[in-house]
Amino acid sequence: MVEVQGRLAGKVALITGGARGQGAEEGRLFADEGATVVLTDVLDDEGEAAAAKIDGASYYHLDVSSERQWDTVVGEVMGEHGRIDVLVNNAGIDMVKKLVATTVEEYERVFSINQLGVFLGMRTTAVALIAAGLGGSFVNISSVAGLEGVLNRTAYSASKFAVTGMTSAAAKELGRHGIRVNSVHPGLIETPMTADIRPITDPDMRAKFERNIPIGRVGQAIDIANMVLFLAGDESAYCTGQAFVVDGGIHK
């Protein structure tokens, strides 16, 4: 029998928003490091295709704003694997809109995915792990917009600030159960979610934006995946309740 090697060898990792972008990159990297990967998303065709490219990975449909769907997915993963060692709450949506033009319905949609989705993910998984006497690592994807407000993104910034606060509170509550909780705060990362914004599509604006980044470039999905890998593994065993910024040095 071949022993699986890697920093996540023997661990089971559940990743939301895993069909593309950062989530898919995290899935590929985790599998390379020995993890059994479970991807979830609402983009079923893309999610199944992403899982098919990762050895041993599985895919589940999951609307992160649905309590019932969270119960189903966590229950099935625990039933099949007996454990969830890593939860990455990666699913999220952006919205660029002025405060005075944002409707209640738009605001609630952003919060249902970016904030409620993270809450449900942590709560559902924590209940299962505590009942099974297991610890784990939760990694919540926030944003630099969860540390300082971003122009024309009031709803998005509010949702990401909520993730930052929930992470800190949950870490204090869950630490005694062996569950660590940290947040990752990306800057501008080139993914399908950001593919249509001008700092990505407009060469002149992109060049100007990159001149203001100390590292000198827009981030890539692998930059986030590498940080998430650190927080998922045992190398970060003494880290919990912390906000890890990955933005090339813009945020002060």
In a domain, 3, yes or no: no
CA dihedral 126→131→133→134, nearest 10 degrees, is -30
How many whole angstroms separate alpha carbon 198 and alpha carbon 176?
Answer: 45
Sign of CA dihedral 34, 236, 164, 119: positive
pLDDT reading at 116 higher than 90: yes
What's the mean pLDDT when you consider all of the chain? 94
Query: Is the pLDDT score of 69 beyond 80?
Result: yes
Q: Which helix (H) or strand (E) holds 219?
A: strand 219-220
Does the pLDDT at position 1 exceed 60?
no
pLDDT score at 2: 52
- To the query of whether residue 156 is one of the catalytic residues in this protein, the response is yes
Instruction: Give the pLDDT mean for 74-85.
Output: 98
- Residue 18's domain is classified under what CATH number? 3.40.50.720
Q: For residue 3, what pLDDT is reported?
A: 60
Residue 25 zone, left/alpha/beta (φ > 0; ψ -120 to 50; rest): alpha
Cβ–Cβ under 8 Å, residues 71 and 78: no
Give the range of the structural domain holding residue 62, as residue numbers without chain letter: 12-245
Residue 4 lies in a domain: no
pLDDT at 112: 98
14's enclosing H/E stretch is: strand 12-15
In a domain, residue 191? The reply is yes
Neighbours of 194 (CB within 10 A): 17
Residue 1 lies in a domain: no
143 inside domain: yes
Cβ(159)–Cβ(202) under 8 Å? Answer: no
Q: Give 6-33 pLDDT, tens digit per residue.
A: 999 999 999 999 999 999 999 999 999 9
Confidence (pLDDT) at 188: 87
Catalytic residue among 59, 60, 156, 238: 156
The yes-or-no verdict on residue 77 having pLDDT over 80 is: yes
Provide the pLDDT for residue 195: 63
Per the structure, the count of domains in the chain is 1
Least confident of 33-37, 70-74, 148-152: 148-152
Mean pLDDT score, 119-145: 98
Which of 84, 41, 44, 45 is closest to 63 using CA atoms?
41
Between β-strands 243-246 and 179-186, what pairing exists: parallel, antiparallel or unpaired?
parallel
Highest mean pLDDT among 86-95, 189-198, 204-213: 86-95
User: Stretch 112-119: mean pLDDT, rounded?
Assistant: 98
Q: Which of 124-128, 185-189, 233-237 has the lowest mean pLDDT?
A: 185-189
125 contacts 87 by C-beta, under 8 angstroms: yes
**How sure is the predictor about 207, in pLDDT bands with cuts at 50, 70 and 90?**
confident
Parallel, antiparallel, or unpaired: how do β-strands 12-15 and 36-41 relate?
parallel
Tell me the per-residue pLDDT of 175-206, one tens digit each, with 9 for 90 and over. Answer: 999 999 999 999 988 877 776 776 777 777 88
The continuous run of DSSP H or E covering 48 comes out as: helix 44-52
Q: Is residue 56 left, alpha or beta, with left meaning phi > 0 and alpha meaning psi from -120 to 50?
A: left
Within a domain: 5: no
For 215, list phi and psi in degrees, rounded to 5: -75, -20
Residue among 122, 28, 105 at smallest CA distance from 67 = 122
The answer as to whether 2 is a domain residue is no
Rounded to whole angstroms, the Cα distance separating 1 from 233 reads 24
252 belongs to a structural domain: no
Task: Say which residues have a Cβ less than 8 Å from residue 60's Cβ, sequence separation at least 6.
Answer: 38, 39, 40, 73, 76, 77
